[in-house]
Amino acid sequence: MSVDDVLELLQKRMSDGSFIRATISQPRAKSSEVKRIKLKPLELKGLFHIQFEYQKERILTHENIPLDAIVSPLQQALEQYKQFHIELTNETMQIQISKKMKVSIKRIFLDTEKTADYAHNRVKKYALKEGVPYPFLIRLGVQTPDGKVKNQKHDKFRQINRFVELIDDTLSHLPKDRTIRILDFGSGKSYLTFALYHYLRIEKGLDIRVTGLDLKKEVIEECQTIANDLHYEQLEFLVGDINDYTGDTAVDMVVTLHACDTATDMALAKAVKWGASVILSVPCCQHELFTQVHAPALDIMLQHGLVKERLAALATDSIRAELLTLAGYEAQLVEFIDMEHTPKNILIRAYRNDKKPSQAQIDRYVEFRTMLHATPYLEKELHALLPFIQHEI
């Protein structure tokens, strides 16, 4: 079988409905940003697509490609990657493509034919289902008493479900033999705090204790009233500042959503110092680096205020993720759906692994930070935990 044969086979199987999923890995170029590509079928607006999920070192992005345009991206993948694992309804295939483009293939035919579940992709299967009344969503004004999502609340419903998906991904990283301690800094109106509690406590039956913290006294009082009325006994809301909170010495999960500017860094630093197993953070209003950035090589970009603002925000989140990595976490920047329809849709997801950084990782971080002429707040906060970093630039 040749590479062209593989291309023809994949195109045919994607078209006849027998394609279930594929994983493409082992890039030929060591410099390749995309380390792995996952493919799955998807139906959008009545048309079949293949979703490409590009997995970079710490970022996931998606592209939905119609079947009639699939040949070119598949051909590029066959040219640029060595290994393909393909699941079909009646077989699995493991394909290796050598440096000289020689194809070797291992095929395992199944005794029982699977079903390609395109229906799964026609209607989004939310963890919280439309039409099912959830008491907390009704009280928060997202649903009507019969479970219908209110017209003006569909964006919030999607955001809540996206957040629940992310929470579900964290389950394997949380303790199973004791109460799970969770803190939500800057909880605000607490749509997502209630969703987190409902999913982990009600849906999954986990032993959890959750605290939502915010500076707005009236909002906190209202949230606590709702929690009491719903008999969410292990959910509390407190008035307080992220930096001043001293109510715990160890926490399993820290959530911070839309904490402004360095308030996000305060929460991240608290999480690391507590040894939190899971950190989920959506930053907001990032001004710190905007006033610090001085990189003549980037002046073509930095001369434009709008571009400088966005670059500073992206650099801030990249620095945060890198510092978490240096502090013993597996950190990624992932897409998140934002209620206000702003570009602020990056979520920092970090799982503690206690892995020691290499000197190359340390040098890479210092070089990047020095290039920007930045003195990140989070680096200063983690100074005692990162003694191997030269903190003066």
- Tokens matching residue 193: 């705090």
76/141 same-domain check? no
Please choose, from the candidates 12, 187, 161, the residue with its C-alpha nearest in 3D space to the C-alpha of residue 89: 12
Beta carbons of 280 and 348 less than 8 angstroms apart: yes
Residue-level pLDDT at 205: 92
The answer to whether residue 349 is domain-embedded is yes
The answer to whether residue 128 is domain-embedded is no
Torsion of CA 223, 229, 235, 240, to 10 degrees: 30
What residue type is assigned to position 29 of the chain?
A: A
Residues 6+ apart with CB under 8 A from 238: 211, 212, 213, 220, 247
195/281 same-domain check? yes
Please choose, from the candidates 198, 347, 206, 338, the residue with its C-alpha nearest in 3D space to the C-alpha of residue 268: 347
162/224 same-domain check? yes
Residue-level pLDDT at 151: 87
114/146 same-domain check? no
Main-chain phi, psi angles of 292, to 5 degrees: -95, -35
Residue-level pLDDT at 296: 92
> Among residues 56, 91, 120, which one ends one of the domains?
120
d(CA 234, CA 14): 48
168/204 same-domain check? yes
110/144 same-domain check? no
Main-chain phi, psi angles of 79, to 5 degrees: -80, -30
The alpha-carbon radius of gyration of the chain (Å, integer) is 23
Whole-prediction pTM value? 0.69
For residue 46, give its domain range.
3-120
- Tokens matching residue 237: 């809301």
The answer to whether residue 127 is domain-embedded is no
Q: Which residues pair with 72 in a beta bridge?
A: none
Residue-level pLDDT at 392: 56
d(CA 187, CA 280): 13
H-helix or E-strand containing 349? strand 346-352
Question: How many structural domains comprise the chain?
Answer: 2
E strands present in 28-137: 36-44, 47-55, 60-66, 81-88, 91-97, 103-109
256/350 same-domain check? yes
d(CA 45, CA 155): 18
393 residues of the chain, pLDDT tens digit each: 788 988 998 988 888 888 999 999 999 998 888 999 999 998 877 788 999 999 887 678 889 999 889 999 999 999 999 999 999 988 899 999 998 899 999 988 887 777 665 544 444 557 888 889 999 999 999 999 999 999 889 888 988 998 998 999 899 999 989 999 999 988 778 899 999 999 999 999 999 999 999 888 999 999 999 999 999 999 999 998 777 787 788 899 999 887 777 888 999 999 999 999 999 998 877 788 888 989 999 999 999 999 999 999 999 999 999 999 999 999 999 887 644 444 557 889 999 999 999 999 999 999 999 999 999 999 999 999 998 887 654
Residues 6+ apart with CB under 8 A from 294: 372, 373
Beta carbons of 91 and 19 less than 8 angstroms apart: no
64/7 same-domain check? yes
Please choose, from the candidates 266, 270, 282, the residue with its C-alpha nearest in 3D space to the C-alpha of residue 340: 282
251/328 same-domain check? yes
The answer to whether residue 17 is domain-embedded is yes
Please choose, from the candidates 214, 213, 184, the residue with its C-alpha nearest in 3D space to the C-alpha of residue 196: 184
> Among residues 62, 96, 120, which one ends one of the domains?
120
CATH number of the domain bearing residue 366:
3.40.50.150
Q: Which residues pair with 333 in a beta bridge?
A: 59, 348
> Among residues 94, 120, 146, which one ends one of the domains?
120
d(CA 302, CA 1): 51
d(CA 82, CA 99): 8
79/225 same-domain check? no
The answer to whether residue 126 is domain-embedded is no
